[in-house]
C-alpha cells in the first residue's frame, strides 16, 4: 500500500511539474513518518524513499539507529532548545527554525561539536495564532542576524499552510512564500541560500509544486491517517 501511495504522489508531482513547466527532479518528496512504526518506514525505504520527516526529536533518536544510514532525516516540528544538542548532528535539515534565539542556540551547540547545520526559516505566512514561525515582515531582519553565524547555514524557507478543503485556497500562501524567497535571493546575503522552498502537505502539495515548492512534506498521503501518538515505534 505504501509503495502504491508513494508512486501516486510521485505521479502527482510529475503532473504538477508538467503543468507549471518545472523539472520533477527539482522537487524532493519528504515522507512524513511521525507516529508511524519503523516497519512502515522500511517499506517506504524499499520503495525508494530516502527523505523522512519527523516532528519530534525523540522519534528521530529512536528510529534512526534501526534504519539504513543513507536516510536523510528532516526535523519539521517545533524544536525546543533543550533538545537541540541531541539532534543537530543527526538531521539533514531543520525546517522549523522559528526564532533568532533558536538559531543562536543551534549555532552555539554546533560550534561545540564543530559541525555545520543547515536550516530553513519557518514563516507563518497565514499569520495563524496557533502556528509557530516568523511573520513575513520579520524574516529579512532575522536573516541578516543569522547569516553572521558561522556554523548555521540558511538554505531557504518553510511554511505550514492552513488546513483547507480546497487546496486552491492556499495558492496565495504559496505565492507569498515564493515571492519572499525571490526578494531575499535578490539581496545576495553572504552565507544565505534560498535554494529550498519547503511547502505543501497531503492536501495541497500539487498546488505548492505549481507555485515553486522544492520540498514537499507528505504524511497521510503515503502512510495513511494518523490515529493516535504511536507507541512501540521501533
Ligand X SMILES: *Cc1c(COP(=O)(O)O)cnc(C)c1O
> Which residue ranges make up the site for ligand X (CB under 6 A)?
32, 34, 55, 76-77, 160, 201-203, 217-221
Task: Compute the least distance from the CB of residue 230 to ligand X, in Å.
Answer: 13
Nearest to 198 by CA among 165, 161, 159: 159
Please return the burial class of 27, using the count of CB atoms within 10 Å of its CB with bins 0-12, 13-18 and 19+. buried
To the nearest whole angstrom, how small is the minimum distance from the Cβ of residue 104 to ligand X?
Answer: 22
Least distance CB 5 / ligand X (angstroms)? 11
Task: Give the separation between CA 173 and CA 181, rounded to whole angstroms.
Answer: 12
Residue number, nearest CB to ligand X: 219
Cell 504559496 found at: 174
Q: Which residues contact 43 (CB under 8 A, 6 or more apart)?
A: 2, 3
By DSSP bridging, strand 72-75 and strand 93-97 are: parallel
Q: Identify whether the C-beta of residue 221 lies closer than 8 Å to the C-beta of residue 34.
A: no
C-beta closer to ligand X: residue 38 or 149? 38
* Smaller CB separation from ligand X, 76 or 119: 76
Cβ 108 to ligand X, closest distance in Å?
Answer: 25
Q: Closest distance between ligand X and the C-beta of residue 30, in Å?
A: 8
- Nearest-angstrom CA–CA distance, 168 and 95: 24
The Cα 167–Cα 102 span in angstroms is: 31
Cβ proximity to ligand X: between 85 and 162 the closer is 162
For ligand X, give the closer residue by CB, 84 or 218.
218
The residue among 175 and 202 lying less far from ligand X, judged by its C-beta, is: 202
Helix (H, G, I), strand (E, B) or coil at 129: coil
Which set of grid coordinates corresponds to residue 180? Answer: 519572499
The CB-of-7 to ligand X minimum distance in angstroms stands at 16
204 within 8 A of 170, measured Cβ to Cβ = yes
Q: Which is nearer to ligand X, 9 or 136 (CB)?
A: 9
Amino acid at each position: 500500500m505504501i509503495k502504491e501511495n508513494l508512486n501516486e504522489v510521485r505521479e502527482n508531482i510529475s503532473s504538477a511539474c508538467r503543468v507549471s513547466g518545472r523539472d520533477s527532479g527539482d522537487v524532493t518528496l519528504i515522507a512524513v513518518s511521525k507516529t508511524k512504526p519503523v516497519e512502515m518506514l522500511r517499506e517506504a525505504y524499499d520503495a525508494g524513499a530516502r527523505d523522512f520527516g519527523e516532528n519530534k526529536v525523540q522519534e528521530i533518536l529512536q528510529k534512526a539507529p534501526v534504519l539504513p544510514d543513507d536516510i536523510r532525516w528532516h526535523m519539521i516540528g517545533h524544536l525546543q532548545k533543550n533538545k537541540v544538542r541531541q539532534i543537530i548532528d543527526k538531521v539533514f535539515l531543520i525546517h522549523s527554525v522559528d526564532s533568532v534565539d533558536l538559531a543562536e542556540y543551534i549555532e552555539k551547540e554546533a560550534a561545540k561539536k564543530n559541525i555545520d547545520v543547515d536550516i530553513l526559516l519557518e514563516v507563518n505566512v497565514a499569520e495563524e495564532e496557533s502556528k509557530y514561525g516568523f511573520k513575513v515582515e520579520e524574516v529579512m531582519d532575522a536573516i541578516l542576524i543569522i547569516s553572521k553565524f558561522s556554523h548555521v547555514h540558511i538554505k531557504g524557507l518553510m511554511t505550514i499552510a492552513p488546513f483547507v478543503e480546497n487546496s486552491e485556497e492556499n495558492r496565495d500562501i504559496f505565492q507569498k512564500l515564493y515571492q519572499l524567497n525571490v526578494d531575499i535571493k535578490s539581496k545576495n546575503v553572504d552565507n544565505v541560500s534560498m535554494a529550498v522552498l519547503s511547502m505543501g502537505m497531503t492536501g495541497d502539495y500539487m498546488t505548492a509544486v505549481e507555485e515553486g515548492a522544492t520540498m514537499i512534506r507528505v504524511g497521510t498521503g503515503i502512510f495513511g491517517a494518523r490515529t493516535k501518538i504511536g507507541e512501540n515505534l521501533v
